[in-house]
Structure 1
Amino acid sequence: MVDLSQYLPILLFLAVALGLSSAFVFLPMLVGRLTGAHKPDPEKLSEYECGFPAFEDPRSQFDVRFYLVAILFIIFDLEAAFLYPWSVSLAEIGWAGWTTMMVFIFELVLGLVYAWKKGALDWE
């Protein structure tokens, strides 16, 4: 027979997380309704980001270079996230860890050179 009492802390953690996240979502809406802050009118529902109505379709397509720059940023941001724990544990992982990270950095450099040659970093 399986002892399910070991899962009680996990179930308790999930219940508390669900309760807190629900409170953070629904409690401000409830307080807004009860205090009278929820009174929609045309002025409140108007554009607020730039102060004037949009003059073109908001679903227009972006140039692909925006996405390339975003992907490159994510790749090199992840590289920085991998370099910190690697540098902290370098004494324990030894030469095998060092070699593995050098292969990883070499692959990223190859990707950067490829993106550079394709013109992904050129901005007009």
Structure 2
Amino acid sequence: MATPTAIVAYLALFVTVGILFLLVNLLVGKLVRPHDPHAEKQEIYECGEPTIGSSFVQFDLRFYVVALLFIIFDVEVAFFFPWAVVFGKANHLSDPQMAVQTESGLTPAAEGLYRELGVSDPTLANTLGAADVTVAQSAGQLAWISFGDILVFFAVLMVGFAYVWKRG
């Protein structure tokens, strides 16, 4: 498994190569394309139709609000999805019917779920010492936290829908 420093180095290399690729393409495009400005190139073009009237038409601001709400909820769904995955795995881990089969105190299915949740060594979860917190209890707490996050997501979603509904 890669160290955190190596992961950061890979990410920095990836971002650097991406930015360099973008800048090289912009520079090559600027050097290669012809520069021939004249009045006809500055005209508005839409499907070959001649323009009638001004091209500066005022739009109702409600359209911008709806577009902004769509973008906000789209980004919120991207942040919500990992919590939904954690909720499902935590519910599976908190099942009291899971039989303990390995020396770490976990079933192979539980070890697999811990690995999917990012725990590199699932035996560490069992070394809590004198604490009486079991795997099922801690997974249940994680499930409740992720369920709370899901409820916050839907509350924000409903407030946004109510706002758009009220605005018309």
Shorter-chain TM-score: what band? Answer: 0.5 to 0.7
The secondary structure found in structure 2 opposite 1:106 is: helix
Distance 1:50 1:103, change over 3 A: same
- 1:105 Cα deviation after fit: 0.9
Distance 1:23 1:65, change over 3 A: same
Aligned to 1:5: none
Aligned to 1:106: 155
- 1:108 Cα deviation after fit: 1.9
Distance 2:37 2:167 in 1: 50
- 1:112 Cα deviation after fit: 1.1
Structure 2 runs not aligned, ≥5 long: 1-8, 91-141
Partner deviation per Cα, 1:17-38 (whole Å, 9 max, x = no partner): 44322211021232334xxxx5
Aligned to 2:62: 65
- 1:41 Cα deviation after fit: 6.3
Matched, 1:27 2:21: no
Instruction: Output the amino acid matched with 2:143.
Output: G
Matched, 1:55 2:52: yes
Distance 1:61 1:45, change over 3 A: closer
Structure 1 runs not aligned, ≥5 long: 1-8, 120-124
More relative contact order, 1 or 2 (CA 8 Å, 6+ apart)? 2
The structure with the larger Rg is 2
- State the TM-score, normalized to the length of structure 1: 0.61
Equivalent residue pairs, number: 107
Instruction: Output the amino acid matched with 2:70.
Output: F
Choose the corresponding residue for 2:76, options 79, 96, 102. 79
Q: State the identity %.
A: 39
Distance 1:108 1:15 in 2: 36
The 10-residue stretch of structure 1 (50-59 or 40-49) with the greater mean CA deviation from structure 2: 40-49
Distance 1:17 1:79 in 2: 26
